[in-house]
């Protein structure tokens, strides 16, 4: 393969990865419109995103086994083709159940795309060009969240939400043709299909799905309900079966031996926490802007562009820092910035808007690549070629699994807490609490710290939406602070990214 064809093929793969990442971002700003258009129940709305992420995690888990069967280029071409067809299915879905099914297929195909790009970057180019290849892929990965919210809002406002998925069709087909024609870093071996551990894949997939279902359903059904208890019993059993098969088979589904490296384990753990914060924040922001502030998809997208723009602006600085500073120091700065941005969002009021949300988003945007680049570097840079696919899969799996669980947790918290918070706020208002009235946006003349007495039906009808918005805001604040505190606590793991002794060149540490 000529250097020219190698770069063309790799850039095409990076564009495919851009599409897979964009798909989460482009949908995020239009969640309220998708809910209204498909009549999705509020408790099921999170599945528009989590179905994608869970399927993506399962596909990432299988990437290491599927790559020898189809070859790296063949797997990517198959995945991007499936992703494109599933996007058409999402756009044409007759019901929200079908939409979530198509999102699951789309996520599964997208999950095979991302690790393939990073592993090809290390297989296709010599060591001297690997940082440049990583920067190309990383820049496009950063561009997706920059353009995604605004582009998604524009498409929904100008056309309709199905076009969020139809925009994938033409570029998806072009990328499939280019990559299928040019990328030849290894050969397919259909005999390797026999070596795939189907039982291990089934058990681990069911475990991941059970975790997500437990977090989504238990608060609604009750943690002692038969459904919740079934998941609670099934999760450890399925996990034990899956892990045991990974440890005892000669060709394991997941190379758990990678976790023997302390730095790799810590990088995956931090990726999990970061994924929860990253995807949780992308999920919470449009809900607040849509349901509390009443912004449409385009306005929401414009506001959410701040985070992506900050990523794009700081990308060159992040690349330089990743090359010149120890990975532990870069990750510390990035995680600190992101945690500060999350916690800063935890002080919203029902009147909080674009200007108030600028700096929290900017902090998070500045931190993104300062987390992803060093963690990816620690996880992959010292791996032998034969372990790159597994290592790349695991670090991406950790981030996306954290994202799926993070969305489920914050969605459950914001949904389940809101009614109780609304009742408590109504009680405070009935008792004349002036601060509660100020927070809800009510006129203060009647609130003097003493019970206000009976209220008319008209007053109650006027006050109820304000109470609901205020209660939703408090619930969102609790979710923001929870994400921020978890990330802040995870900073205690940063020192464990350092090597035990100086065995590598300083620029790789």
**Contact assessment for residue 273 and residue 486, using Cβ atoms and an 8 Å cutoff:** yes
Give the pLDDT of residue 480: 97
Give the range among 96-105, 143-152, 312-321, 497-506 with minimum mean pLDDT. Answer: 497-506
Highest mean pLDDT among 31-40, 78-87, 256-265, 450-459: 78-87
Other C-beta atoms lying within 10 Å of the C-beta of residue 155? 23
For the cut 60, the answer to whether the pLDDT of residue 265 exceeds it is yes
Half-sphere exposure of 285 (CA within 13 A, CB side): 33
For the cut 50, the answer to whether the pLDDT of residue 505 exceeds it is no
pLDDT band at residue 5 under the 50/70/90 scheme: confident
- pTM of the complete model beyond 0.85: no
Q: Distances from the Cα of 308 to the Cαs of 46, 107, 177, 313, 354, in angstroms? A: 22, 22, 29, 9, 15
**Contact assessment for residue 50 and residue 404, using Cβ atoms and an 8 Å cutoff:** yes
Phi and psi torsions of 27, nearest 5°: -80, -30
Give the pLDDT of residue 449: 85
Give the pLDDT of residue 1: 67
Place of tokens 């681990």: 204
Name the maximum alpha-carbon separation found in the chain: 82
- Tell me the C-alpha distance between 507 and 19, whole Å: 31
- Tell me the C-alpha distance between 432 and 277, whole Å: 37
For the cut 60, the answer to whether the pLDDT of residue 502 exceeds it is no
- Tell me the C-alpha distance between 284 and 361, whole Å: 12
Give the pLDDT of residue 504: 44
- Tell me the C-alpha distance between 168 and 181, whole Å: 20
Give the pLDDT of residue 507: 39
pLDDT band at residue 496 under the 50/70/90 scheme: very high
């Amino acid at each position: 393969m000529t250097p020219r064809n190698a770069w063309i093929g790799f850039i095409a793969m990076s564009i495919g990865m851009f599409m897979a990442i964009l798909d989460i971002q482009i949908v995020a700003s239009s969640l309220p419109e998708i809910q209204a258009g498909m009549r999705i129940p509020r408790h099921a709305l999170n599945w528009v995103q989590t179905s994608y992420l869970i399927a993506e995690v399962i596909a990432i888990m299988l990437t290491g086994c599927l790559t020898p069967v189809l070859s790296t280029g063949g797997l990517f071409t198959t995945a991007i083709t499936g992703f494109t067809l599933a996007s058409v299915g999402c756009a044409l879905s007759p019901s929200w159940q079908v939409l979530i099914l198509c999102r699951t297929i789309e996520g599964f195909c997208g999950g095979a795309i991302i690790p393939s790009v990073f592993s090809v970057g290390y297989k296709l180019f010599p060591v001297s060009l690997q940082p440049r290849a990583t920067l190309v892929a990383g820049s496009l990965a950063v561009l997706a969240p920059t353009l995604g919210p605004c582009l998604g809002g524009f498409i929904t406002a100008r056309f309709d939400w199905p076009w969020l998925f139809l925009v994938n069709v033409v570029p998806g087909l072009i990328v499939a043709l280019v990559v299928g024609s040019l990328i030849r870093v290894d050969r397919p071996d259909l005999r390797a299909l026999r070596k795939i551990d189907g039982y291990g894949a089934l058990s681990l997939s069911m475990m991941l799905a059970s975790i997500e279902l437990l977090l989504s359903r238990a608060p609604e059904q009750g943690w002692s309900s038969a459904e919740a208890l079934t998941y609670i019993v099934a999760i450890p059993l399925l996990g034990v079966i899956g892990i045991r098969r990974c440890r005892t088979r000669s060709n394991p589904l997941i190379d758990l031996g990678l976790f023997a490296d302390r730095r790799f384990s810590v990088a995956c753990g931090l990726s999990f926490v970061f994924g929860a914060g990253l995807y949780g924040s992308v999920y919470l922001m449009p809900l607040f802007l849509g349901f509390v502030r009443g912004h449409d998809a385009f306005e929401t997208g414009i506001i959410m562009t701040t985070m992506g723009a900050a990523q794009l602006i700081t990308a060159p600085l992040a690349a330089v820092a990743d090359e010149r500073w120890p990975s532990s120091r870069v990750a510390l700065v990035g995680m600190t910035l992101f945690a500060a941005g999350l916690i800063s969002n935890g002080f919203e009021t029902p009147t909080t808007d674009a200007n108030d949300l600028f700096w929290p988003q900017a902090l998070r945007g500045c931190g993104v690549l300062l987390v992803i680049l060093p963690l990816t570097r620690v996880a992959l840079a010292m791996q032998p070629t034969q372990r790159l696919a597994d290592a790349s899969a695991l670090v991406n799996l950790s981030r996306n699994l954290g994202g799926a669980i993070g969305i489920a947790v914050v969605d459950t918290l914001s949904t389940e807490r809101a009614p109780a918070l609304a009742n408590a706020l109504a009680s405070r208002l009935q008792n004349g609490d002036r601060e509660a009235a100020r927070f809800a946006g009510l006129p203060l003349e009647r609130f003097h710290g003493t019970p206000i007495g009976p209220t008319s039906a008209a007053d109650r009808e006027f006050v109820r939406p304000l109470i609901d918005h205020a209660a939703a805001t408090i619930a969102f604040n609790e979710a923001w602070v929870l994400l921020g505190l978890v990330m802040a606590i995870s900073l205690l793991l940063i020192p464990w990214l350092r090597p035990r002794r100086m065995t590598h060149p300083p620029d790789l540490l």
